[in-house]
Amino acid sequence: MRSCVRMYKILMVEDDKNIQNLVVNYFTKKEKNIFQVEIASDGQTGWEKAYENHYDLLILDVMLPEMDGFSICRKIRKNSDVPIMFITARASEPDVLNGYALGCDDYVIKPY
């Protein structure tokens, strides 16, 4: 009997290729058939993908070309309650508090 395994879609908006690879490997190496990770390397592309598709998780950097992660989070929260995690080097208390005020579910500071 074949079991049904749900595929979880993740969008990562990150401009650093090394971090992109690290996160993709983390989610897909062990569980290839459970997680599908899509990448956007700039904020505008990330926002467009998030707006046009359904994801189970968004992972956002804050400092991005075209549009910052805070702006993406603000726009997403107008219409969606998808879980949002920031992974960023922006470590000041005001930045962390701003991330949570905008509606993120977690705020992880680089390096992690």
20/14 Cα distance (integer angstroms): 6
Out of 1.20.1050.10, 3.40.50.2300, 3.30.2350.10, 3.30.70.420, select the CATH number for domain 8-109.
Answer: 3.40.50.2300
| Domain range summary for the chain, segments of one domain joined by + | 8-109
Q: Are the CB atoms for 43 and 67 separated by under 8 Å?
A: yes
pTM of the model: 0.92
**What is the number of alpha carbons within 13 Å of residue 61 lying toward its C-beta?**
24
Read off φ and ψ for residue 60, nearest 5 degrees: -120, 135
pLDDT at 33: 82
- Residue partners of 32: CB distance under 8 A and separation at least 6: none
Question: Collapsing DSSP states into helix, strand and coil, what is residue 64?
Answer: coil
Q: Tens of pLDDT along 40-54? A: 999 999 999 999 999
Q: Tens of pLDDT along 54-105? A: 999 999 999 999 999 999 999 999 999 999 999 999 999 999 999 999 999 9
Statement: residue 3 has pLDDT above 70: no
